[in-house]
Amino acid sequence: MPLHLDMSAIASLRQATWHCHQRLEKRLDVKQRFSSRHLYRTHLEKMWGFCSPLERQFDAHIFDEALFDHESRRKLPLLAGDLNVLGVTAQSLPECPAIPAFADTAAAFGGAYVLEGATLGGRTLLSMVRTQLGLTPYHGARFLAGYGEHTAAMWRTFGAALDAWCATDASRLTAGSAAVATFEALEVWLCGNLA
């Protein structure tokens, strides 16, 4: 599907990844995935294994000029803290071997879009984990809490940076392709082969 400059870059990425996002959401079955501490812990272990190699690419100064607050967006400290509460040392976990490589900043924005979108969506799962598992943003559910009361503002900041950096059809196409590849890698890592 062609991307157009008459919409925001976030809207372009949403359009490019809509099918992937819908498919992954259906396959995840969060009610089952978060129905016990063991299953929730397994999900967090998989998310750590996905975010670790992804964030290593982001650490290569790929966002230095494009996303000034990229360091404050790191997911690994949140995941490691939650896993520690659940009795797991994150550094010993396996990592996803099929993370897409980001050749430039536009592609990295595509990968980051997937994580930032998950952060936005995680807030809706927080009440389920609190009610069913007794976990809170201060004890075992920091990853789902995202940026707390600043989550919406952080999403807007990300969108503004994305718009500024991906202002051409070519850069949006690059970001969109990277976002699709990231979604597909996440689906395979969490759910097995692509549906």
Residue-wise pLDDT tens digits, 69-91: 999 999 999 999 999 999 999 98
Q: Which residues contact 45 (CB under 8 A, 6 or more apart)?
A: 83, 88, 90, 93
pLDDT band at 45 (very low <50, low <70, confident <90, very high): very high
User: In angstroms, rounded to a whole number, what is the distance separating the alpha carbons of residues 4 and 39?
Assistant: 41
Q: Report the pLDDT value the prediction gives residue 1, as an integer from 0 to 100.
A: 44
Other Cβ atoms less than 10 A from the Cβ of 194: the count is: 13
User: In angstroms, rounded to a whole number, what is the distance separating the alpha carbons of residues 7 and 13?
Assistant: 10
**pTM for the whole thing?**
0.92
* Cβ atoms of 116 and 123 closer than 8 Å: no
The enclosing domain of 98 has a CATH number of 1.20.910.10
Q: Is residue 143 in a domain?
A: yes
Q: Is residue 15 in a domain?
A: yes
Q: Is residue 120 in a domain?
A: yes
Q: Which residues contact 166 (CB under 8 A, 6 or more apart)?
A: 9, 12, 106, 109, 172, 174, 175
Q: Is residue 16 in a domain?
A: yes
Q: Is residue 20 in a domain?
A: yes
Q: Is residue 52 in a domain?
A: yes
Q: Which residues contact 114 (CB under 8 A, 6 or more apart)?
A: 17, 179, 182, 183, 186
* Cβ atoms of 191 and 24 closer than 8 Å: yes
Other Cβ atoms less than 10 A from the Cβ of 191: the count is: 16
* Cβ atoms of 86 and 37 closer than 8 Å: yes
Q: Is residue 1 in a domain?
A: no
State the total domains in the chain: 1
Q: Is residue 22 in a domain?
A: yes
Residue-wise pLDDT tens digits, 96-128: 999 999 999 999 999 999 999 999 888 889 999
Range of the domain at 113: 9-191
Residue that is written with structure tokens 């790191």 in the block? 74
